[in-house]
C-alpha cells in the first residue's frame, strides 16, 4: 500500500462589503417620497373624486 501525498494550495479571498450611508439615506428618502405621493393620490381620490359619483 502506498500513501499518496498531495500538495494542496489554498486561496484566501477577502471580501469587503462597502457600506455607504449616504446611498442608504438617499434611497430611503426616494422611497419615502414615493409612498407619500401614493397616499396623497389615494387621499385625493377618496376625498374629491369618488364622492362625485
pLDDT at 45: 95
Phi and psi at residue 15, to the nearest 5°: -110, 120
pLDDT at residue number 48 = 93
Task: Give the pLDDT score at 8.
Answer: 73
Whether pTM > 0.85 for this model: the answer is no
- Mean pLDDT of each 10-residue bin along the chain, 53 residues long: 70 80 92 98 94 83
Residue from 7, 43, 9 nearest 51 by CA: 43
Grid look-up 457600506 returns 19
Q: What is the pLDDT of residue 2?
A: 59
All structural domains of the chain with their residue ranges: 21-52
Amino acid at each position: 500500500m502506498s500513501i499518496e501525498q498531495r500538495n494542496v494550495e489554498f486561496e484566501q479571498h477577502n471580501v469587503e462589503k462597502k457600506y455607504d450611508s449616504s446611498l442608504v439615506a438617499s434611497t430611503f428618502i426616494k422611497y419615502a417620497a414615493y409612498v407619500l405621493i401614493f397616499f396623497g393620490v389615494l387621499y385625493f381620490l377618496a376625498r374629491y373624486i369618488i364622492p362625485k359619483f
